[in-house]
Amino acid sequence: PLPEEGPGAQGCACLSTEDHSLGWVRSFRPQKQNLFLHVNDGSSLKSLQVIAPAGMNDPLLGFGCAVEVKGILKKSPHSKQPVELEAEQIRVIGECNPVDFPFKIKERHSLEYIRQFLHLRCRTNAFSSLLRIRSEATAAVHSYFKNNGFLLIHTPTITSNDCEGAGELFQVEPPGTTFANEGSFFSVPVYLTVSGQLHLEVMSGAFPRVYTFGPTFRAENSQSRRHLAEFFMVEAEISFTESIEDLTKVMEELFRSVTESVLAHCEEDVDLFHKYVAPGHRVSPEGHSITYTEAIDILKRSSETFTFPTDWGCDLMTEHEKFLVKHCGNIPVFVTDYPYDLKPFYARDNQDHPKHTAAAVDLLVPGVGELCGGSLREERLDLLRSRLGEYLDLRRFGSVPHGGFGLGFERYLQCILGVDNIKDVIPFPRFSHSCLL
């Protein structure tokens, strides 16, 4: 359960000036002599306390209304808040019928409950906190890359490639065209991107450090708590590298840097999650590294019963990933050197290993499982020959060893906040059988 009432005025909201406040009523307490309001404008969890003579109580005024308050900002006699606004005039800009409004004053609503009202959940404390954290984390991702010499590439949303080769594509055509006919818009089948990696790889032929951060699309027919049909991915590609450690170092630094920024700038918002959503939740950016083969050994030796097989060559499922994270002490775990056949065509063949593995790495984190997937890329033309056309050409003209990774941004937010369902960390979730708004 989450607190829905204003937590108490402690500051002045950003739309408020000395004597003027615009916002939404978060708490409403008419008393004999005075009327007390908390007005919030989304800039923080803090609301401005407004005091008005009881006579100013407009019948339209109440919880959820949009208001304009004019008055005099005064030092507050209460220690909890530095200032309060003594109202001279209150104007209801937008009424709010409390009977129909799905959020009730003083009631605590679950994330699941507020998710039913996608168009209104930004008006709750929890979701407004989430949106501020999401915005801060977005800015921190860009700062990290800018400060570390990465060039931002706007990779396309519409593409003719299936980067992951997993067949989870959404095909795109204007209405009225059939996907198969020759009059199709692009003359070739095109899809919403599942990853910007191949476009980053193109750019990494001229810029040693590139990244992209945008929406990606996967037709996953899954109702899981960690899959969406549209999610945001942070992807980086690094040239002149021949080691997985170069990739894991960037993943770890990115995680640490974004998390530090969020904790520093959104302390109160993060506290709300750690207090009400995932009590006792802590994030450790310190990672541990094991190979896939060691991971399989750990799973095999454990007394846990798993639904899915744990033989060498089998993919690690969510249950396995969560177990491995717990086993390593609830810290982020890098799993490297997966079986070659489990990874997409671009992953580099570890030819010198006794078992057929690829130089690929997944980062597993507490509560979520897989947060990042990455690999060194196969730059050797002869080994790629059996694969794709233009991809091969990238290897013919000044090719260098390189590698990269993708981080699921929503899973990152789930991880740092302890949110169980991915639908609660994105403003407008898209998943099978659901595309509201």
Q: Show contacts with ligand 4AD in window 235-254 (CB under 6 A).
A: 235
Residues with Cβ within 8 Å of 354's Cβ and at least 6 positions away in sequence, in order, are: none
Tokens, residue 135:
């915005």
374 binds Mg ion (CB under 5 A): no
Q: Show contacts with ligand 4AD in window 344-373 (CB under 6 A).
A: 370-373
Q: How far is CA 390 from the centre of its chain?
A: 32
**194 contacts 166 by C-beta, under 8 angstroms:** yes
Q: Which residue of 404, 414, 417, 418 would you call a contact of ligand 4AD, by CB under 6 A?
A: 404
- Report the relative pairing of strands 83-94 and 48-53 from DSSP bridges: parallel
Nearer to ligand 4AD, 52 or 228 (CB): 228
**82 contacts 8 by C-beta, under 8 angstroms:** no
Query: How far apart are alpha carbons 122 and 113 in whole angstroms?
Result: 13
Tokens, residue 90:
């209150």
- Report the relative pairing of strands 158-159 and 151-152 from DSSP bridges: unpaired
Nearer to ligand 4AD, 185 or 428 (CB): 428
Phi/psi for 269 (5° steps) reads: -65, -45
Nearer to Mg ion, 5 or 164 (CB): 164
Smallest gap from Cβ 414 to Mg ion, in A, equals 16
**417 contacts 267 by C-beta, under 8 angstroms:** no
Query: How far apart are alpha carbons 52 and 48 in whole angstroms?
Result: 13
Stretch that binds ligand 4AD, among 128-136, 151-159, 176-184, 224-232 (CB under 6 A): 224-232
Q: Which does 195 bind (CB under 5 to 8 A by kind): ligand 4AD, Mg ion, none?
A: ligand 4AD
By CB under 6 A, the count of residues binding ligand 4AD is 22
Q: Which residue of 373, 374, 403, 408 would you call a contact of Mg ion, by CB under 5 A?
A: 373
Q: Which does 19 bind (CB under 5 to 8 A by kind): Mg ion, ligand 4AD, none?
A: none
Q: Which residue of 25, 35, 163, 299 would you call a contact of ligand 4AD, by CB under 6 A?
A: 163
SS3 201: helix
Residues that bind ligand 4AD (CB under 6 A): 163-164, 195, 197, 218, 220, 227-228, 231, 233, 235, 370-374, 404-406, 408, 410-411
